[in-house]
A = this chain, B = another copy of it.
Amino acid sequence: MGTDKNDRILLAHGGGGQLSDELIRRHILPKLKNDTLAELGDSAKLDVDSKSLCFTTDSYVVKPLFFNGGDIGKLAVCGTINDLAVAGSKPVAMSLSLIIENGFEIKLLDKILESIGKTARRNKVDIVTGDTKTVEAGAADGIFINTTGIGVRLAKVELGVEEISVGDQIIVNGTIGDHGMTIISQRQGIKFQSRLKSDCAALAELTCELLEKTSGIKFMRDPTRGGLAATLNEIAGSSGKSIEIRETDIPVDKTVQAAADMLGFDVLTIANEGKFIAIVSSESARDCLKICRNHPLGKEAAIIGRVIQTKDVPLVELITRIGGRRMVQMPYGRELPRIC
């Protein structure tokens, strides 16, 4: 029992007493350190640069916890940064809440916390407040993480589906399906899984550059769960405008495509964690593309389609490689549980 306390999470680590305090001071604070968090108040006191904010939350339940290209910690920080980024804001602060199963290895927790700290620092987002709960073995699957973020809205940026017009172009900043196919291949143990790598990355630097240097961006969204298919269908549904994408123009990594074909998935429905879709005016599409391609996270950016007139109901259509047309449906949802 004596060493257990240092090796594994116990229920008492979530009890609000001595052990909770030790866990916070020895394992959490050193990896995330910043002055606001170190105060350990009930709430973080936060001074922001604007009264116009973005606010977003996500819980992460990804399985496995560690994957090629990332881990649940990196994913939790990037995912929340990305939700703030595509809403047209600059992320400034984040909360971190952990639900950990009794018996979880503290070594793994440390690895995850290190990854969280590194990703947050690299993106200049402070983790300013947090919470840790423990549950019995079997009551959670290892660890679940919630991050909730605050961003400061960029001045003069007005993004919204109501801005979208027929003729607008659709840009994606790189290959699609990488994250989802990496996770599912690791879970299913397929042969070439080592050649797959999640695209998990924080997009705020690139989106802020785009919004500051161009004026034609109408709307952005990150195609996570449900992939490009879900995101484009949501945009079509809420804007009332149809969307046409061209299969030949959509960047897909060869190994990702092979894995999707082998396992029977449509890459359009597969989750991404380092991609955004931008709907931009046709005049500014080339400029946007250029800025993307000059950024490490946009080297393979492409214009993949456009907004078209709606006939009856707003639809998403794919022009296939051989020139046919097929409807891209909203995925039902069961494709990939616990992908993020």
Contact = CB atoms under 8 A, between A and B. Distances in A.
Interface of A: 10-21, 40-61, 82-84, 86-87, 89, 93, 95-99, 128-131, 133-136, 138-141, 144, 146, 148-151, 153, 221-222, 224-226, 230, 238, 269, 271, 330-338
B129 A57 contact: yes
7 contacts: A15-B337, A16-B226, A19-B333, A43-B55, A43-B89, A44-B56, A60-B133
B55 A95 contact: yes
Chain A interface main SS type: mixed
Nearest to A223: B16
A17 B337 contact: no
A43 B83 contact: yes
A222 B49 CA distance: 29
A144 B148 contact: no
B334 A12 contact: yes
Given A41-B87, A337-B14, A55 B128 contact: yes
Contacts of A93: 55
Contacts of A21: 330
Contacts of A151: 43
A51 B42 contact: no
A333 B50 contact: no
A134 B337 contact: yes
Given A86-B42, A333-B12, A334-B11, A95 B57 contact: yes
Contacts of A49: 51
